Structure 1
Amino acid sequence: MSSGAILQSNPILTWWREHVVAGVDHVRVLDKVRAESGWSGRYMFMTLMSAGIAVLGLLLSSPAVVIGAMLISPLMGPIIGMGFGLATFDTAEIRASAVALAIGIILAVVFTAAVVMLSPLQNVTEEIAARTRPNLFDLMVALFSALAGAYAMVRGREGTIVGVAIATALMPPLAVMGYGLATLNWTVLGGSSLLFFTNLMTIALAAAVMARLYGFGSDLSPQHTLLQTLVGIAVLIALAIPLGISLYNIAWEATASRQAQNVVMSQFGGDARLSQIDFHPDTKPIRVSATVLTPQFRPDAQSDAQRTLERLLGRPVQVALEQYRVGTSQAAEAEQIASAQANARQLAADKVAMRTSEQLALIAGVTQGNVLLDRDHQRAVVTAKPLPDTGLEAYRTLEKRVSDAATGWSVELIPPPASLPDVSFAKPQQKAEGEEEPAAPKPDASGEAAIATAVWAAKRLNVPIGVAGDKDRVAAVVEALTKAGVDAHEVSGKSGSDGTVRMVWLAPEAE
């Protein structure tokens, strides 16, 4: 039996082709991909601005500023375009996307290197160091994010791209490459280059896979498909090997550091406390330095700890212990510990509040002074300024990302009254035998997402919603909104395309 006959006889593939692939507007998707993957003046300007924001955020070690660079970076377009070009063997699209991507990379690296050379701050910050040791988890993040981004492109879920842009973080590694070039730090340059190349190739390959799944390149021969598969597997394996080794080394260092702490403390009694410990796994021999507060000196503690660690780690180790004798008054000790814990909790709470305020101000387009913080009740509220080409779903996504990061805080982002999305409905089911009335219309997955976004926005703005379209479908939407606590009313108006129900903002009723 031929491969074509096997595919035709497979009910799952037949269902996928007839119900999923057939519903994709391939021409619209390809036009959108081509429009966002080529070189243009806007692309150049946004690349330079994103690179500038990224390198400043890295030098200042400000995660909020780095997130801003991720949001406006245009590099996702050419990489997605390259993936679709690979899926369809469209050499013109591959060439256009590759040219735009190459120019963007050169611009970003050269511009960030120039900024670093002119900057008085050139220390390796935590934000820079975090992008110099990519591992297998980074590849998995890029893979999952790319699958989500390609799906959003195919299915028209553009709001998802906001989260994908933050997750994949294409511009910060380029900015770190510029930093490494400017400071001649080849370790930083090499690590960030590997991270960017990992994200680039993984996104392109994942986009190609999603494109093939949704019917793009369906006219290709089996030989072309086999070539695509072999190349994709080879690239992922080539990336996974060094990244897997890096992940193993990171895990080993974490385990070794924990063992070093346990071994040092095992040399003393229960009344001793570890003031600080430094673990340096990259030196030869491995160096461990620690300061211990103890009621009684242990002259053999350093040599015993060194021998134990060398046996556990299987490598030469040099241990340096400093012992300070402290009093044993339990009341005084307890008071000091309680004070230290209280200060630590307060510092942690202040750090979360500051980070939440910075992130909310960034995504809302306002200064931090416009963010209302209630520290007692751990609540943050900000009113966002209108951003071009930004819908309500994007604001909702941004609020969720900040809320997830701000553990224990209630975060509210009040969006501008942008247009509400239309509610699409599932195809009407055929009337079952014996039924007098057909089943009530129900929104499909996209329609339910639109209703959820409308509920979120209405509660933030405290504004009623009008619903227009087919009477039965309008009733279903009004009922869903009302159940969610939104003031919704049927209004006159035509249905949208494909019978979708339109939602509009209504003027609040005067009291």
Structure 2
Amino acid sequence: MASQQAAPTATKSNDLSFARVVLSFRKWWRDDVMGTVDQPAVIEKRRAECVMSGRYMFMTAMSGGIAVLGLLLSSPAVVIGAMLLSPLMDPIMGLGFALAIGDYKWLRKSAKSLAWGSLMAIGLCALIVFLSPIQDITSEIASRTRPNLFDLLVAVFSALAGAYAMIRGREGTIVGVAIATALMPPLAVVGFGLATGNWTVFWGASLLYITNLMAIALIAALMARIYGFRTRLSDKQTQFQNFAIIAVFIALAVPLGFSLRQIAWEANSARQVRAELIANFGSSARLSQPEINFDGDPIQVSAFVWTTELKPEAEIKAEESLARAIGQKVDIDLKQFLVRDEKSAEQAQIISAQEQEEAAASQRADALADRLALMAGVENDEVIIDRQRRRAMVRAVELEGAPLVTYYNLERRIAATEPEWRVELIPPAKPLPTIEFADGELSEAGTKALALIAWSAGRVGAPVILSGPDAAVEVAQKELAEQGLPLVATQRGRGPNVTAEWGSIGQ
């Protein structure tokens, strides 16, 4: 009897403990996370950057033009260059935030900017392809003609990073590049399909572009809601406008839902393909990663298998089993390699995987060298690539009118595309920025200036001369000295700020 009474008591205690944890988390999230976000400032900034301007239209069109040229040439470096220019992040994020707060006017403005920018880019891409002597479907173009799981994940993670950065006031070019990665290549392929009259390419790339766009907008809206951005009705907002926003949300979700359904079917089919291919051989056999073309009719599958016993009927059996399992005809090209035993099969599989990885790594290194040469304005042979240490270095030519921060941003953008590499872009010794102080403390602009000076001095390898009030110079000198930079500090000067200039190497 006592044990029966104790059981409900224990359950109730557990429920109360869980409730306390939930309440504590909600309080922490409300006070320490949502409470630190300046929502009016975030919304005001997002509104201002969603305006359709001549600069926005021009940059979107140029980005599309560069992207389609990169796709025609099968040059990842040129495609990445297009992503660096793309301004599509602002209207897409505006679309998401407008959905989150229920602002119909802002939603319409963002959608208008996005639509006109996309049409401008598609038009220029189509014109370039129409006038180009090269109109072949390259591997870069073919890979952007249908949604897949990895494309969707790129869009989702880019949206998460972009929304978080904007809410926290840390947005920048790198986040924009991540979002453009999911949008500019398929947008350029839409123009290619239009110019060549290839409607399979046109509609496939359009679906990929719309799917990624919808995913980014919906994720941005979700992130904004999580951070406390809510609908605030005003006198001008009507119930009709609210219904219109809900309708837009549903319209965004429909193509995404269809794409997710297709992606899920393909992922499940890929698992079944691998299972059926290996099922015809013993446990000692080893299978390569199958290559599957779902666009073919029948579906095309190719793979290698290392086995201790050759089985000529394996292809036919696998084709019949897969046709029943996935409901479509399958054409399998299965190459069999005879090995002595299971250990030999494993070694052959490992060697094959290593060769593929080495080839892929070599291609990535070559592509990185191409991008660095393009950004630095030099020939490829002037880029130093250390494949073993994964280090890349290049000395940039001087760009007229470009300040030091331009080179700093270029290095960050390229480094973001290859996180496993150490990328160093050596800038010319351009004028250093002024280190600003406010009430004796480093201002936000001063902190950024210090970071830029530290980066520049580290790359150029020359000492820096600081001039200004004693206390301010001491603060700046301490910050830079902690990074091991050579300094010649002249602690004299007037005004609240510190100026910086290059010293000679022997100084």
Compare 198-207 and 355-364 and name the one that shifted more.
Answer: 198-207
Q: Report the alpha carbon displacement of residue 63 of structure 1 after superposing the two structures with TM.
A: 1.6
Unaligned runs of 5+ in 1: 1-9, 429-440
Matched position secondary structure for 1:360: helix
CA distance in 2, matches of 1:289, 1:83: 41
2:394 match: 382
2:506 match: 510
Q: Would you say the 8 A contact 1:272–1:293 is kept in 2?
A: yes
Matched position secondary structure for 2:368: helix
The alignment of Structure 1 onto Structure 2 pairs a total of residues equal to 475
Q: How does 1:309-348 map to 2 (within 5 A)?
A: 309=322, 313=325, 315=327, 318=330, 320=332, 326=338, 328=340, 343-344=355-356, 346-348=358-360
Q: Would you say the 8 A contact 1:463–1:505 is kept in 2?
A: no
Question: Which amino acid is 1:475 matched to?
Answer: E
CA distance in 2, matches of 1:186, 1:13: 50
Q: Report the alpha carbon displacement of residue 357 of structure 1 after superposing the two structures with TM.
A: 0.2
Q: Would you say the 8 A contact 1:149–1:164 is kept in 2?
A: no
Q: Does 1:123 align with 2:123?
A: no
Q: Would you say the 8 A contact 2:155–2:215 is kept in 1?
A: yes
CA RMSD of the aligned region, Å? 5.2
Q: Report the alpha carbon displacement of residue 231 of structure 1 after superposing the two structures with TM.
A: 5.5
2:451 match: 452
Q: Which digits, 9 at most, give the CA deviation of each residue in 1:85-125, with x for residues without a partner?
A: 99897979966x77766554444322322322333433333
Q: Would you say the 8 A contact 1:383–1:415 is kept in 2?
A: yes
Q: Report the alpha carbon displacement of residue 11 of structure 1 after superposing the two structures with TM.
A: 13
Compare 350-359 and 390-399 and name the one that shifted more.
Answer: 390-399
Q: 1:137 aligns with which of 153, 175, 197?
A: 153
Matched position secondary structure for 1:224: coil
2:206 match: 193
CA gap of 1:310–1:173, structure 2 versus 1, over 3 A, is closer
Q: Does 1:416 align with 2:428?
A: yes
Question: Which amino acid is 1:49 matched to?
Answer: M
Q: TM-score, normalised by structure 1?
A: 0.70
Q: 1:177 aligns with which of 190, 199, 209?
A: 190
Q: Which digits, 9 at most, give the CA deviation of each residue in 1:286-310, with x for residues without a partner?
A: 5545554544333553455456546
1:111 match: 124
CA gap of 1:15–1:410, structure 2 versus 1, over 3 A, is closer
Q: Which digits, 9 at most, give the CA deviation of each residue in 1:223-260, with x for residues without a partner?
A: 73988876556534432343244245334423432442
Q: Which digits, 9 at most, give the CA deviation of each residue in 1:174-233, with x for residues without a partner?
A: 32111111233334323433444466677788999999999x999972773988876556
Q: 1:363 aligns with which of 372, 375, 378?
A: 375
1:438 match: none
Question: Which amino acid is 1:361 matched to?
Answer: A
Q: Report the alpha carbon displacement of residue 418 of structure 1 after superposing the two structures with TM.
A: 4.6
Question: Which amino acid is 1:279 matched to?
Answer: I
Q: Would you say the 8 A contact 2:467–2:492 is kept in 1?
A: yes
CA distance in 2, matches of 1:107, 1:368: 33
CA gap of 1:348–1:473, structure 2 versus 1, over 3 A, is same
Q: How does 1:50-449 map to 2 (within 5 A)?
A: 50-75=63-88, 104-134=117-147, 136-137=152-153, 139-141=155-157, 143-144=159-160, 146-147=162-163, 150=166, 160-169=172-181, 170-197=183-210, 221=234, 224=237, 234-269=247-282, 272=285, 274=287, 277-281=290-294, 288=301, 290=303, 292=305, 294-298=307-311, 301-302=314-315, 304-306=317-319, 309=322, 313=325, 315=327, 318=330, 320=332, 326=338, 328=340, 343-344=355-356, 346-387=358-399, 392-393=404-405, 395-406=407-418, 408-418=420-430, 420=432, 443=442, 448-449=447-448
CA distance in 1, matches of 2:74, 2:257: 27
CA gap of 1:450–1:266, structure 2 versus 1, over 3 A, is farther
1:433 match: none
Q: Would you say the 8 A contact 1:53–1:65 is kept in 2?
A: yes
Question: Which amino acid is 1:63 matched to?
Answer: P
Q: Would you say the 8 A contact 2:56–2:87 is kept in 1?
A: yes
Q: Which digits, 9 at most, give the CA deviation of each residue in 1:399-425, with x for residues without a partner?
A: 344335446533211133455556567
CA gap of 1:107–1:322, structure 2 versus 1, over 3 A, is closer
Q: Report the alpha carbon displacement of residue 65 of structure 1 after superposing the two structures with TM.
A: 0.3
Question: Which amino acid is 1:177 matched to?
Answer: V
CA gap of 1:485–1:269, structure 2 versus 1, over 3 A, is same
CA distance in 1, matches of 2:342, 2:36: 72
Matched position secondary structure for 2:237: helix
CA distance in 2, matches of 1:185, 1:107: 20
CA distance in 2, matches of 1:346, 1:11: 48
CA distance in 1, matches of 2:420, 2:121: 37
Question: Which amino acid is 1:381 matched to?
Answer: M
Q: Would you say the 8 A contact 2:286–2:346 is kept in 1?
A: no
CA gap of 1:39–1:279, structure 2 versus 1, over 3 A, is closer
1:435 match: none
Q: Would you say the 8 A contact 2:42–2:167 is kept in 1?
A: no
Q: Would you say the 8 A contact 2:304–2:337 is kept in 1?
A: no
Unaligned runs of 5+ in 2: 1-26
Question: Which amino acid is 2:81 matched to?
Answer: G
CA gap of 1:89–1:374, structure 2 versus 1, over 3 A, is closer
Compare 276-285 and 352-361 and name the one that shifted more.
Answer: 276-285
CA gap of 1:357–1:507, structure 2 versus 1, over 3 A, is same
Q: Report the alpha carbon displacement of residue 59 of structure 1 after superposing the two structures with TM.
A: 1.4
Q: Would you say the 8 A contact 2:467–2:493 is kept in 1?
A: yes
Q: Report the alpha carbon displacement of residue 478 of structure 1 after superposing the two structures with TM.
A: 1.8
Question: Which amino acid is 1:70 matched to?
Answer: M
Matched position secondary structure for 2:484: coil
CA distance in 1, matches of 2:478, 2:37: 29
Q: TM-score, normalised by structure 2?
A: 0.71
1:483 match: 482
2:17 match: none
